[in-house]
Amino acid sequence: MRYLLELLGVAVFAVSGVLADGRKGLDLLGAVVIAVVTAIGGGTLRDVLLDRHPIFWIANVTYLWVILAATLVTLGYVRFRVASRRALLVADALGLAFFTIGGVQVAQQAGHSDPIALLMGAITGVAGGVLRDVLTAQIPLVLRPGRLYATAAIVGGAVYLLSAGAGAPKDAAALAGMAAIVALRLAAILWGLELPVVHLPEDEAG
Amino acid sequence: MRYLLELLGVAVFAVSGVLADGRKGLDLLGAVVIAVVTAIGGGTLRDVLLDRHPIFWIANVTYLWVILAATLVTLGYVRFRVASRRALLVADALGLAFFTIGGVQVAQQAGHSDPIALLMGAITGVAGGVLRDVLTAQIPLVLRPGRLYATAAIVGGAVYLLSAGAGAPKDAAALAGMAAIVALRLAAILWGLELPVVHLPEDEAG
Amino acid sequence: MRYLLELLGVAVFAVSGVLADGRKGLDLLGAVVIAVVTAIGGGTLRDVLLDRHPIFWIANVTYLWVILAATLVTLGYVRFRVASRRALLVADALGLAFFTIGGVQVAQQAGHSDPIALLMGAITGVAGGVLRDVLTAQIPLVLRPGRLYATAAIVGGAVYLLSAGAGAPKDAAALAGMAAIVALRLAAILWGLELPVVHLPEDEAG
């Protein structure tokens, strides 16, 4: 069950990576590369930082095949009709939810404290998209006034940690955390919620 | 004492990251992310390359709290007045000095040779700023005619290694190296010193 | 013999990194940094992902000296005459060929399956150039309609794996794979071969 969700998360993020490519005029292989990086970037960074080897997609190559299949299906599909943007956003929110809570659990199982687990959850959820944006030479969406993308990951991770810490069954806590992420993200898109923007005077320190 | 200096270095780099954000219209969480990446990026890269686990901020979460506090204080402060650019540059030079020498020492303690230790020192000192610039889609300051930022790190690291190699007490050598970094960096800012710029004919090899 | 080829590959990629710098007005140290990152980036990423420590250039500092020498010679040379673009492209194709096949072999020796070995070969071959482009704030060449750069790496790696799997002697298989990479890459440059470009409707999923 969890493994299936995980594969689904990888596939959804691959689709999101492919669709983001459309703006850039990449070639076919470039599109696949971006899809792969988007889908496995967050979990890879988490595994490297936590020294978990072999990295999840090296330990189980199925992830890579799922990404490849999702990418090719997407590329074929969008030749015929525009993907429903709404469906994509819902799927992407689900991917964020599963990756984040999965990342928190992985860090907890490795014996890390709650703040580190929360951070690793957020990294797992958002780093793939950050890498996608860096590779296409854009300021990562997650850093811009972005309708609570990373915020949703952090809030949902905290919901999971707090409810599990309060004695809730682990699965129930995970569901609560994932629901919080999806709800917050979709609400933010629906009503255009944003965190305040930082405006500072020009400076070239560094 | 060294631990306090280290926390100070992290805080100073976090402030530098936040102030760099001002130009980009990031949201509040984006500003925190950039501050964290700037402050821990160099040490994290060093630890991953040297296979030192747990990574320093996973081993000791205090670093993250200090960064968060420094970021929030900075964000609150700059609403009321412009930070003194001069104070920031001095603090940043101190951060560079401490991170670089600390990075050299870490690599030495892990049994690495002087050239590797020097490189790790420079990576520790400058990689956080490089990541900050990559994430905000700019060519890293440290690669541009930059008033001897990386140069100061390399020269100071060499001063430390040479004086320690010549038999100087380790603390004295560290102070000499740090002084060299701060002096060279501030002199370069004051007098606009730069390395020669490379101009080559256009080419698209790759 | 293999070690010499490896050093040659590093040197060639360093030269390619320096020449790419010419467009950006970096300073002298920035040019050296880009050359180093281009030359060792792919192998470093491979070693970190496969948990091979010490990383190759930490285990053997000769790589770094070769890069430094190649960079300085290149910088001196281009002051006097424009480098032959044709010679550079051939050398770059050779570097790609050796790095890719070497990366495949490293992953195989560590006991990984063929798909992972192929992926690691491609990462070893192209990631250095990707880092070079990210650091100079460009969309990586390898993702753009790029005359089969990454494609050549994947095809050549597959040629090596298939012929070694079919019982060919390892050295012969390696030569066949490297020849395939150089031939495909140079043919693509000569005749302007490209993979189809992906054009999708605008979307801001993420």
B105 is in which domain, residue-wise?
2-191
- Give B169→chain A minimum CA distance, Å: 31
Q: Is C31 on the interface with B (CB under 8 A)?
A: yes
In a domain, C99, yes or no: yes
pLDDT score at C58: 93
Three-state DSSP class for residue C27:
strand
Chain C residue at shortest CA distance from B120:
C58
In angstroms, the Cα distances linking C180 to B54, C10, C125, C152, C203 are 42, 20, 14, 7, 38
Q: Using an 8 Å CB-CB cutoff, list chain A residues near B78.
A: 200-201
* CB-CB under 8 Å, B135 with A203: no
Contact B35, B67 (CB under 8 A): yes
Inter-chain Cβ pairs, chain A and chain C, closer than 8 A: 113
Q: Which of C15, C18, C23, C27 to substitute to test the interface with B, most B CBs within 10 Å?
A: C27
Q: Where does the pLDDT of residue C203 fall: very low under 50, low under 70, confident under 90, or very high at 90 and above? A: very low
Residue environment code for A49-88, b if the CB has 16+ CB neighbours within 10 A, otherwise e = bbbbebbbbbeeeebbebbeebbbebbeebeeeebeeeeb
| Cβ-contact A31, B30 below 8 angstroms | no
With an 8 Å Cβ cutoff, is A48 touching chain B? yes
Give a yes or no: residue A68 inside a domain: yes
B96-121 residue pLDDT tens: 998 999 999 999 999 999 999 999 99
A117 lies in a domain? Answer: yes
The predicted structure's pLDDT at residue A201? 53
Residues of C in contact with A149 (CB under 8 A): 206
Q: What share of chain A is helix, strand, coil (3-state, %, to 5)?
A: 75, 0, 25
**From the CA of A193, how many Å to the nearest CA of chain B?**
12
Token digits of residue C139: 């969309």
Tokens of C39: 């030359």
pLDDT higher than threshold 70 for residue C83: no
Return the SS3 of B197: strand
Say if residues B53 and A51 touch (Cβ distance below 8 Å): yes
Q: How far apart are CA A49 and CA C114, in angstroms?
A: 26
Break chain C down into helix, strand, coil percent, rounded to 5.
75, 0, 25
Q: Which residue has the higher pLDDT, B197 or A96?
A: A96
The two tokens of residue C106 are 């490293």
Please name the member of C31, C75, C141 whose beta carbon is closest to the beta carbon of B206: C141
| 3-state SS, residue A197 | strand
Residue of A nearest to B149 (CA): A206
- Interface list for A 139-158 with C (CB within 8 A): 141-142, 149
For residue A199, tell me if it sits in a domain: no
Q: What's the total number of domains in chain A? A: 1
3-state secondary structure B50-112: CCCCCCHHHHCCHHHHHHHHHHHHHHHHCCCCCCCHHHHHHHHHHHHHHHHHHHHHHHHHCCC
Q: Helix (H, G, I), strand (E, B), or coil: what is residue B123?
A: helix
**Is residue C122, in this structure, part of any structural domain at all?**
yes
- Tokens (6 digits) for B153: 């790190």
State how far the Cα of A139 lies from the Cα of C140, in Å rounded to an integer: 15
ipTM > 0.85, yes or no: no
Q: What is the CA B20 to chain-centroid distance, rounded? A: 14
User: From its phi and psi, is residue C167 left (phi > 0), alpha (psi between -120 and 50) or beta?
Assistant: left
Contact state of B48 with A48 under an 8 Å Cβ cutoff: yes
Q: Which of B23, B29, B134 to mutate to test the interface with A (most CBs of A within 10 A)?
A: B29
Q: Inspect the interface and report whether the beta carbons of C88 and B50 lie closer than 8 Å.
A: no
pLDDT higher at C20 or C186: C186
Q: Which of B27, B32, B44, B56 to mutate to test the interface with A (most CBs of A within 10 A)?
A: B27
Domain contains C205: no
Q: What is residue C45's DSSP assignment?
A: H
User: What is the nearest CA distance from C83 to chain A, expressed in angstroms?
Assistant: 29
The pLDDT averaged over each successive group of 10 residues in chain A (206 residues) is 77 79 70 87 93 92 91 75 66 87 92 93 91 84 78 94 93 94 90 72 44
| CA–CA min distance B77, chain C (Å) | 32
Pick C199 or C155 by higher pLDDT.
C155
Residue B69 is which amino acid?
A: A
Average pLDDT value for chain B: 84
Q: Tokens 């970021």 appear where?
A: B71
What angle (nearest 5°) sits at the alpha carbon of residue C70, between those of residues C64 and C71?
90
| Bridge partners, A197 (sequence order) | B27
A70, A15 Cβ separation under 8 angstroms: yes
Residue C89 lies in a domain: yes
Has residue B203 been placed in a domain? no
Does B50 contact C64 at a Cβ distance shorter than 8 Å? no
From the CA of A35, how many Å to the nearest CA of chain B? 19
Closest residue in chain C to residue B112, using alpha carbons only:
C58
Report the percent of chain C where pLDDT is more than 90: 43
Measured between beta carbons, the chain A residues lying within 8 angstroms of C196 are 27-28
Question: What was the pLDDT predicted at A82?
Answer: 56
